[in-house]
Amino acid sequence: MHLSYALELPERPGEVQKAFRIAPEASYVLSVKNPEKGSPANAGLRKQDQADYPDKLQKEFRGRRFDREDVELLDFEGAEFLLVGARTNPEVAYGVELDTDAADYEHADTVRRLRMVKSRHPVKPLFEGRWD
C-alpha cells in the first residue's frame, strides 16, 4: 500500500509542518503490524488494545511482522501501522497527478471529510501553518 499526498492547506508549509517534517508532497509505503508478533520495549500498544483480526485476515501476515497488501487490516480498532518514506516527488515517480486547489474553510476537502465544525475546531493552524 502506498500513501501519497500533496498539501492543500496551508498554501505554504509553516512552522507546524516543519516541526512534524511534513513535506509539501510525499509518498510512503504503509505496512500494518501483526499483533501476534512482539513489539520492542516501550513501543506499540498494550496487548488488550491491539487489533483482534479474524482468522482469515490474520493469515494475511503469513507469520511476518508486517503486511502491506491488504487495506482491510486498517479497518480494525487497534490496527498499528508503519509509514516508510518512499518518494519525495510521487507525481514524477508514479505518474499520478496530486490535484490540489486553493481552498477556503467551507470548500476544503479535508474539512468536509473530517466533518470539522468551525465553532468547535480551531482552523487557524490549518490555514496558516502556525501554532496557536
pLDDT of residue 123: 66
- State how far the Cα of 111 lies from the Cα of 103, in Å rounded to an integer: 10
Question: What are the Cα distances from residue 83, in Å, to 20, 79, 122?
Answer: 14, 13, 27
Q: Grid coordinates representing 61? A: 501476515
The residue among 15 and 9 whose pLDDT is bigger is 15
pLDDT grade, residue 3 (50/70/90)?
A: confident
- CB of 1 closer than 8 Å to CB of 60: no
Summarised one tens digit per residue, pLDDT across range 42-82 is 888 999 999 999 999 999 899 999 998 788 999 999 999 98
Q: Omega of the bond prior to 10 within 30 degrees of 0, cis?
A: yes
Helix (H, G, I), strand (E, B) or coil at 11: coil
Reference 6, options 108, 84, 91, 105; nearest CA is 91
Q: Grid coordinates representing 120? A: 468547535
- CB of 96 closer than 8 Å to CB of 90: yes
Amino acid identity, residue 14?
Answer: G
- State how far the Cα of 57 lies from the Cα of 55, in Å rounded to an integer: 6
Summarised one tens digit per residue, pLDDT across range 88-129 is 666 676 677 766 665 555 556 666 677 777 677 766 676 677
- State how far the Cα of 120 lies from the Cα of 103, in Å rounded to an integer: 20
- Domain ranges within the chain, ordered by starting residue: 2-128
